Structure formats: C-alpha cells, structure tokens
Amino acid sequence: MNLPGKIAIMGGGSWATAIAKMVLGKAESINWYMRRDDRIEDFKRFGHNPAYLTSVRFDIKRINFSSDINQVVRESDTLIFVTPSPYLKSHLKKLKTKLKDKFIITAIKGIVPDENLIVSDYFHKIYGLPEENIAVIAGPCHAEEVALERLSYLTIGCKDIQKAKMFARQLCGHYIKTSVSTDIVGIEYASVLKNIYAIAAGICKSLHYGDNFQAVLLTNAMHEMMRFAKAKSDIPRDITDSGYLGDVLVTAYSNFSRNRQFGQMIGMGYSVKAAQTEMEMVAEGYYGTKAIWLANQDTQVDLPIVEAVYQILYNRRSAKTVIRELTKKFQ
C-alpha cells in the first residue's frame, strides 16, 4: 500500500473544505469527490467552494474534481470521508470499485443509521476493510477557524500507530498541530457524544442557565463520556486529552458550533423541523442522540444528559421540564 499516495476528499461541505486546505499544505494535488456537478463548475469558476468557507481560495490546477465516486476511488490511495453520517450510505451505494486496497480516513462525526455503527466499524464490518487500514480525525477544530488559519489541534486515531503518524505528518503545519492515538472507538464515540452535549448546552443557554451551570453540565458530560467509552472499549484512555475534552469544550461553547446553535433554537421553542430548516446545515447531534440512545439499550450505561436530549428531541417533552429534572441529578 502506497501511503498516503494520492489523497481524495469525499464530500463538499465546510469540514471537507477545511481538510482539503490542510492536505494541500503539503500534497501537490488532490482528487475531490462532490455529488453535484453545478457546485464543481462554480468551484472551478470562482476558485473557492461556492457554498462553504467561501473565503478560502484554492489553486484549481491542483484539484481533480469529479462527481463520479467510482472514478475518484479508482484514482486514489487514501480516501477521506467527510459527508454527514445520514448520507454516507447513499454515496456508497453508487460504489462499484473495491475499497479493500485503500486507506480509509473518516472525519465524519456521527453514526451510520440503521446499522447504528460508528463509521470505522461500518467500513470494517460491511466492507471488510482491515482495522489497521482505517483511521479517524477528531479534536477541537472548527472548519471556520481552519479557514482563518487559527492554531488548531487534531488527533489521528488508527490501530496501526505508524499509519496514524504518517497521516498526522501530512496534516501538520504552522496552524495545525497533531497527535496520534490507537483509541479509534473512544475517539469516534467522543465525536458523536460531544455534539449531543453541545445541543444540551445550547438548550440550557436559551433557558437562561448561566456559566456556572454550563460548567457543571460539561463536567457531568465528561463522566458520561468516560463511562460510555469504557463500556464500548475498555482500554486505557485519558478523557482529558484534547481529542475528548477539547472537542467537547469547543463544540459546547463556540459560536461556530452548529449543534450548540441547534440546541439554542430548540430551547427557544423551535420544533426540530423548523430549526433544521432555518439552519440549512446538518446538526449531527440530532441523529447522534438517537443513535447513542439506541446503542445504550444493550450497555445500559447511566447517560442522563443523552437521555434528557433524547426526550426533548424525539419524545417532544418540554425542554424546560426535562432540564429542570436533569439539574436534580447533578452534584
């Protein structure tokens, strides 16, 4: 396997655009799969993504665009998947080219519906990829701040630590610092959970809970995360590392956080559908809430914050009532 070889970006949103910017810091050229031909044509004409991070300029000569997923997979060695988790399967259904010889990196912070699997498990179990050929990208790294070249930190997780180090070197630069880990399962579940906690933080913000309570909320969130990660993969991990705690903090507090924004709208009284329509972007935490809730039916870990958000989003219980009940469970 020639790594990283030719790198492909699989997706056209803001996080995909930010990762493309990082990769092109060292790669001579990339392949880039986008679903819509009109977006590709506009990208080529304007020199930037027409819909996301429009301030980031690209040298179009260094990008091979295509809406043909099979062509991109055939012509690439490393595939970075950056599509919203609910739509991953619809993209992969078009795939006829084998993935077995590819190095797969998931930057998707969600769970694949129906199978209810984290993305790395989905590629391993459904597509038969060896675990050592699958990696994840996580950490406190908003796409908008990458666009501004503000200092950011990423964690690359892979069972094969040498491959994690290889890709970490590919991404690092003057505004990107990287670390590596073998805890793929913990990192991926943390990436899903942090979106749920950000929704909770947003709801509490709109309900006029202050900074004191937000601190208690996120402290309890980290205990939840630690319990759930241990139940899913009982290996040593430091939950205070930036790939866990750092990602939770930035997603829960930042004004760039779409999940926090989604939660604020729910706390203000918006219905789920109305909030989704107005945002025009996918809040992964909405889907992640149901996925984690379902995944926990087997493990039965104590997850009061996840339960609270689930009750608000899916059982349409009053946010004010549910959060008031939640406060009684904290110390």
Residue range 127-141, pLDDT digits in tens: 999 999 999 999 998
User: Which pLDDT value is given to residue 257?
Assistant: 92
What's the CA gap between 300 and 312, in Å, rounded? 20
| Alpha helices for the chain (secondary structure H) | 14-23, 37-46, 69-74, 88-92, 119-127, 143-147, 161-171, 184-206, 211-232, 247-253, 258-267, 272-279, 284-299, 304-314, 319-327
Quick check: pTM over 0.85?
yes
Tens digits of residue pLDDT in 33-88: 999 999 999 999 999 999 999 999 999 999 999 999 999 999 999 999 999 898 99
> Is pLDDT at 282 greater than 90 in this prediction?
no
Hey, what are 108's tokens? 């998707």
Q: Which of 122, 17, 114, 9 is nearest to 66 (CA)?
A: 9
Say yes or no to pLDDT of 1 above 70: no
The full set of domains in the chain, from first to last, is: 7-182 (3.40.50.720), 187-327 (1.10.1040.10)
Q: Is the pLDDT of residue 100 over 90?
A: no
| pLDDT tens digits, one per residue of 12-46 | 999 999 999 999 999 999 999 999 999 999 999 99
Local confidence band at 113 (pLDDT 50, 70, 90 cut-offs): confident
User: What pLDDT, on the 0 to 100 scale, is given for residue 279?
Assistant: 85
Mean pLDDT over all residues of the chain? 94
Cβ within 8 Å of residue 77, ≥6 positions away? 1, 2, 3, 4, 5, 6, 7, 102, 103
